């Protein structure tokens, strides 16, 4: 069998490696348009913060390892431009301008996602960067090394934007943030989002939500981000307004698109064409809480989807159990974590949510260094099922605690069942009643009023 994969990062290389382990005789070919494969994109903001650490240290496994040790035909610098499902062929061009055609028995589209760049004047100026690929990280790091950067503007206030705030602050660069929508992290409960806003203010970051960017001008002193009457000077501008799935190649081949124009797939990541799969940031995934397909461009989801496709190609058609959308990021001395659905998402999924937001502590009463931890918990009124959790708190209070809630979502626990779980307690790590248990007990009052 000839298994061809388009895309050489998380989903693509996970699928290639697992397919060769399970079916060593299978011919596996990977087409990657860049020179970079299998790298930790999530680590780029932290790497950029350290001028002494080469960005190529983020490469998890080099191309020659896949070729020489795993017998994978990994072709870097090969950009797929067309899929012909009838002929079962992929064609494209190399970085040198040559054309190629590769035949397949089974095909995986793992083309990832691309940074959204607004179609506005000045976004192509020198000193304006997005951060999505390893090459983007190289350019940013080189720019910061070559130029005295005193002030920066970040357009956007999502995960990458907030991680880059900390990166630039670590390098002594004053930073302002701007976005057109009025809310910081609109998916986050407002009480929890307030903690994030306070953390930004405490570190001197100025935020300008509700200001639409019109253009980026160049002046003798650098760049200016123009938002009506608001003008934000900068030596460097980071564009972090989100990503979109790279699904055009699939769409041009006649494959259906689904949520957020991600490639529509079933529970084994198979498209409408039984010979073509799609996985990772370009494709949908099944959400264990909503029971619907979703688009969730996160690292573990992409890697796990690659494994699932390899299993299916090797003859194991077991349905993927789905995702809960579990995510976490660090902002200075805060951790922000979520899993499952917030109330708005639950309503959109046809559920009837009830929610509570509680404030607890990161350590037991009397312990030095105890700080506020806020938890939002969401349950379904008719069934009592746990639907989602959000946590914001100091370092050590949210990132691992959210995993307990994620497991509960996968197990389809009710709020009542979760409230009875035996969570660990010791004074340095939290109060006797863990913040999650406190939230569950409070939510039960809304789900089962006396």
Rounded CA-CA distance 31/21 in Å is: 19
Q: pLDDT band for position 165 (50/70/90)? A: very high
User: Tens digit of pLDDT for each residue in 211-248?
Assistant: 999 999 999 999 999 999 999 999 999 999 999 999 99
The burial of 219, by beta-carbon neighbours within 10 Å (0-12 exposed, 13-18 middle, 19 or more buried), is given as exposed
- Of the candidates 314, 310, 308, the residue with the CA atom closest to the CA atom of residue 266: 308
- Report the 10 Å Cβ neighbour count for 68: 10
Domain locations along the chain? 2-38+60-113+244-313, 117-239, 327-447
User: Tens digit of pLDDT for each residue in 413-427?
Assistant: 999 999 999 999 999
- Report DSSP state, residue 331: E
Percent of the chain whose pLDDT exceeds 90: 97
Question: What is the pLDDT, as a whole number, of residue 86?
Answer: 98
- The encoded tokens of residue 335 equal 């951790």
Average pLDDT over residues 117-134: 97
Residue 45 has pLDDT above 70, yes or no: yes
CATH of domain 2-38+60-113+244-313: 3.50.50.60
Matching CATH number, 327-447, of 3.90.1570.10, 3.50.50.60, 3.40.50.1400, 3.30.479.10: 3.50.50.60
In what order do the strands lie in the sheet containing 89-94?
78-84, 89-94, 99-103
Q: In whole angstroms, how large is the CA radius of gyration of the chain?
A: 23
In contact, 263 and 241? CB cutoff 8 Å: no
Question: What is the pLDDT, as a whole number, of residue 376?
Answer: 98
Tokens 């509680």 sit at which residue? 358
Average pLDDT over residues 384-404: 97
Average pLDDT over residues 40-49: 95
Tokens 């698109």 sit at which residue? 257
- Beta bridge pairs of residue 294: 285
Q: pLDDT band for position 320 (50/70/90)? A: confident
- Beta bridge pairs of residue 340: 388
Residue 341 has pLDDT above 60, yes or no: yes
Active site (catalytic) residues: 42
Q: pLDDT band for position 335 (50/70/90)? A: very high
- The encoded tokens of residue 64 equal 């020659």
Q: pLDDT band for position 147 (50/70/90)? A: confident
Q: Are strands 99-103 and 89-94 parallel, antiparallel or unpaired?
A: antiparallel
DSSP string, 388-413: EEEEEEETTSSTTHHHHHHHHHHTT-
Rounded CA-CA distance 218/413 in Å is: 55
- What mean pLDDT is reported for the chain? 96
Percent of the chain whose pLDDT exceeds 70: 100
Q: Are strands 353-361 and 327-331 parallel, antiparallel or unpaired?
A: unpaired
CA 22 to chain CA centroid, Å, is: 28
In contact, 193 and 185? CB cutoff 8 Å: yes
Is 321 strand, coil or helix?
Answer: coil
Residue 98 has pLDDT above 70, yes or no: yes
Average pLDDT over residues 110-133: 97
Residue 48 has pLDDT above 90, yes or no: yes
Q: pLDDT band for position 336 (50/70/90)? A: very high
Tokens 């209070």 sit at which residue? 397
Tokens 């939002």 sit at which residue? 376
User: Tens digit of pLDDT for each residue in 259-305?
Assistant: 999 999 999 999 999 999 999 999 999 999 999 999 999 999 999 99
Same fold, 2-38+60-113+244-313 and 327-447: yes
Q: pLDDT band for position 449 (50/70/90)? A: low
Question: What is the pLDDT, as a whole number, of residue 368?
Answer: 94
Question: What is the pLDDT, as a whole number, of residue 318?
Answer: 86
Question: What is the pLDDT, as a whole number, of residue 337?
Answer: 98
Considering the segment(s) 117-239 as one domain, its CATH architecture is 3-Layer(bba) Sandwich (3.50)
In contact, 68 and 76? CB cutoff 8 Å: no
CA 288 to chain CA centroid, Å, is: 18
């Amino acid at each position: 069998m000839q298994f061809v994969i388009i895309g050489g990062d998380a989903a693509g290389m996970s699928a290639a490696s697992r397919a060769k382990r399970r079916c060593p005789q299978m011919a596996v070919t990977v087409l990657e348009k860049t020179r970079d494969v299998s790298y930790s994109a999530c680590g780029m903001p932290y790497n950029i913060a350290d001028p002494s650490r080469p960005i190529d240290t983020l490469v998890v496994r080099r191309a020659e390892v896949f070729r020489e040790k795993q017998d994978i035909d990994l072709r870097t610098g090969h950009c797929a431009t067309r899929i012909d499902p009838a002929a079962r062929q992929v064609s494209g061009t190399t970085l040198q301008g040559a054309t190629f055609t590769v035949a397949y028995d089974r095909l995986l589209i793992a083309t990832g996602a691309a940074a959204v760049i607004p179609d506005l004047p000045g976004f192509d100026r020198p000193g304006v960067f997005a951060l999505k690929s390893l090459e983007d990280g190289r350019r940013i790091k080189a720019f910061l090394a070559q130029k005295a950067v005193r002030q920066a503007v970040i357009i956007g206030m999502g995960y990458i934007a907030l991680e880059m705030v900390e990166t630039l602050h670590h390098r002594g660069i004053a930073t302002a943030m701007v976005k057109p929508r009025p809310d910081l992290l609109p998916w986050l409960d407002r009480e929890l989002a307030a903690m994030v806003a306070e953390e930004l203010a405490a570190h001197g970051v100025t935020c300008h939500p509700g200001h639409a960017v019109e253009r980026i001008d160049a002046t003798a002193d650098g760049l200016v981000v123009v938002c009506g009457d608001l003008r934000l000077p900068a030596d460097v501008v980071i564009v972090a307004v989100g990503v979109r799935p790279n699904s055009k190649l699939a769409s041009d081949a006649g494959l259906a698109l689904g949520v957020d124009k991600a490639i529509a797939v079933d529970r084994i990541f198979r498209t409408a064409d039984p010979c073509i799969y799609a996985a990772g940031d370009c494709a949908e995934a099944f959400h264990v809480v909503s029971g619907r397909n979703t688009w969730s461009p996160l690292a573990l989801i992409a890697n796990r989807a690659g494994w699932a496709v390899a299993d299916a190609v090797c003859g194991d058609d077991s349905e993927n159990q789905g995702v809960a959308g579990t995510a976490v990021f660090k902002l200075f001395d805060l951790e922000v974590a979520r899993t499952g659905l917030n109330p708005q998402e639950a309503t959109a999924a046809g559920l009837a949510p009830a929610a509570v937001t509680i404030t607890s502590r990161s350590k037991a009463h009397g312990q030095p260094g105890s700080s506020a931890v806020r938890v939002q918990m969401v349950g379904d009124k008719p069934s009592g099922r746990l639907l989602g959790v959000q946590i914001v708190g100091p370092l050590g209070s949210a990132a691992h605690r959210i995993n307990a809630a994620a497991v509960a979502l996968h197990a389809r626990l009710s709020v009542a069942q979760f409230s009875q779980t035996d969570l660990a307690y010791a004074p340095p790590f939290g109060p006797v009643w863990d913040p999650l248990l406190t939230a569950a007990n409070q939510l039960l009052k809304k789900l089962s009023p006396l």
